[in-house]
């Protein structure tokens, strides 16, 4: 059913890109704390049996059972470079998980000269992972702990997308398609580039899109099958983008943000050959975790975009009319907890990870 939007929706229809500097503070929802004391939890995925597999940035993967609670860290996890923003990051199931028990995770891999975002494949057991193999190691080594990206998503053709950040001090490299700084790559389950990737004959044939800063939201549209990405801007200019093969999303040549010290990064927000975001935020909300809602628990939210906010500590719902954003609503702000990841469970409820040395797994249901 088409939604009736107020002024924001109308503006979006006219301009295609819209700035959201404000939103509606929404009524509280019911929140249940399923697990506490997690060390900066970062990514999660539901298993077919209803358990949740989640990561802790310090270098752990855990299983959460709805009946028995949080399990011990799984054995067999490789060493991670847990420095600043780096560590064990996103996690996802193989499309054939029910028969092959295979998982993938993205992590900051220690290497000579610093660390690099890497995608690994492994077999999941009850208390360990085995057969751990790095299937993709990004050509974006840096000796700092910033801007790893590391969100993962599978499309309907079983292609795996991984976001790779610009590593902070190398932002100009986000325009260079000869390496993986500031890109989103598309690979198969063995880590090989998909045959029709746009730069298949180049030095970084895995690249699908480029010109990104630090993508920490990556999801597949449930109707169109298109890939959507959400990235941190600097001071201002957080973006949501709809991805298309070979497109340049502009960073740092065009941006709606400035440096944290107030210096201008670029005086341009538009340029021919560079894509405009579906929406952007100024001031920044520091978004992390993104999914489209599909479920029965929140009947009025079908097709809406759910986003976690780190800086402004809330769950954000963006009303969507197809690809057009409308009104935005903030939830749970009173809890003052940084939201790192957002997913919808098989029960239609919303599950959140809070980013803290004493992080939590939350279950969100409609208010009674």
The active-site residue, picked from 147, 180, 212, 232, is: 147
Using omega within 30 degrees of 0 as the cis cutoff, is the peptide bond preceding 139 cis? no
Is residue 313 exposed (0-12), middle (13-18) or buried (19+ Cβ within 10 Å)?
buried
Residue 282, φ and ψ in degrees, nearest 5: -145, 110
Counted residue by residue, the chain has a size of: 368
CA distance 26 to 138: 40
| Buried/exposed 82-117: b ≥16 CB within 10 Å, e otherwise | beebbbbbbbbbbbeeeeebbbbbbbbbbeeebbbb
Q: How many helices (H) and strands (E) does the chain have?
A: 2, 26
CA distance 191 to 187: 5
The question of whether 212 is a catalytic residue gets the answer no
Question: Residue 76 region, left (φ>0) first, then alpha (ψ -120 to 50), else beta?
Answer: left
Neighbours of 264 (CB within 10 A): 9
Q: What share of the chain is helix, strand, coil (3-state, %, to 5)?
A: 5, 45, 50
CB 129 within 8 A of CB 188: no
Strand pairing report for 359-365 and 30-38: antiparallel
Q: Residue 329 contacts by C-beta under 8 Å, 6 or more apart in sequence?
A: 23, 24, 25, 26, 316, 317, 319
CA distance 117 to 216: 13
CA dihedral (235, 236, 239, 245) in degrees, to 10, reads: -60
Q: In DSSP terms, which residues pair with 266 in a beta bridge?
A: none
CA distance 59 to 199: 33
What amino acid positions are annotated as catalytic residues? 147
């Amino acid at each position: 059913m088409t939604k009736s939007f107020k002024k924001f929706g109308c503006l979006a229809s006219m301009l295609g890109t819209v700035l959201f500097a404000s939103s509606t503070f929404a009524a509280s929802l019911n929140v249940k704390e399923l697990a506490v004391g997690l060390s900066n939890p970062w990514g999660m995925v539901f298993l077919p049996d209803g358990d949740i597999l989640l990561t802790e940035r310090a270098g752990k993967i855990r299983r959460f059972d709805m009946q028995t609670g949080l399990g011990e860290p799984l054995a067999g996890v490789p060493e991670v470079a847990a420095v600043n923003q780096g560590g064990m990051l996103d996690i996802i199931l193989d499309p054939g998980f029910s028969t092959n028990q295979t998982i993938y995770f993205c992590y900051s891999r220690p290497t000579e000269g610093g660390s690099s975002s890497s995608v690994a494949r492994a077999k999941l057991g009850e208390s360990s992972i085995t057969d751990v193999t790095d299937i993709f190691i990004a050509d974006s080594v840096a000796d700092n702990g910033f801007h790893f990206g590391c969100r993962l998503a599978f499309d309907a053709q079983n292609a795996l997308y991984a976001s790779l950040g610009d590593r902070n001090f190398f932002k100009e490299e986000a325009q260079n398609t000869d390496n993986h700084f500031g890109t989103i790559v598309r690979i198969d389950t063995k880590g090989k580039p998909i045959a029709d990737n746009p730069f298949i004959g180049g030095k970084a044939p895995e690249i699908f899109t480029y010109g990104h800063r630090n993508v920490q939201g990556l999801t597949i549209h449930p109707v169109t099958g298109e890939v959507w990405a959400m990235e941190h801007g600097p001071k201002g200019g957080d973006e949501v983008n709809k991805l298309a093969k070979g497109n340049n999303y502009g960073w740092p040549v065009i941006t709606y943000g400035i440096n944290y010290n107030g210096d201008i990064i670029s005086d341009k927000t538009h340029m021919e050959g560079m894509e405009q975001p579906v929406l952007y935020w100024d001031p920044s909300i520091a978004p992390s975790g993104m999914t489209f809602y599909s479920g029965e628990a929140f009947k009025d939210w079908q097709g809406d975009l759910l986003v976690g906010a780190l800086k402004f500590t809330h769950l954000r719902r963006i009303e969507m009319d197809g690809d057009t954003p409308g009104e935005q609503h903030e939830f749970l702000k009173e809890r003052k907890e940084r939201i790192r990841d957002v997913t919808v469970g098989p029960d239609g409820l919303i599950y959140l990870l809070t980013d803290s040395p004493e992080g939590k797994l939350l279950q969100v249901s409609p208010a009674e």
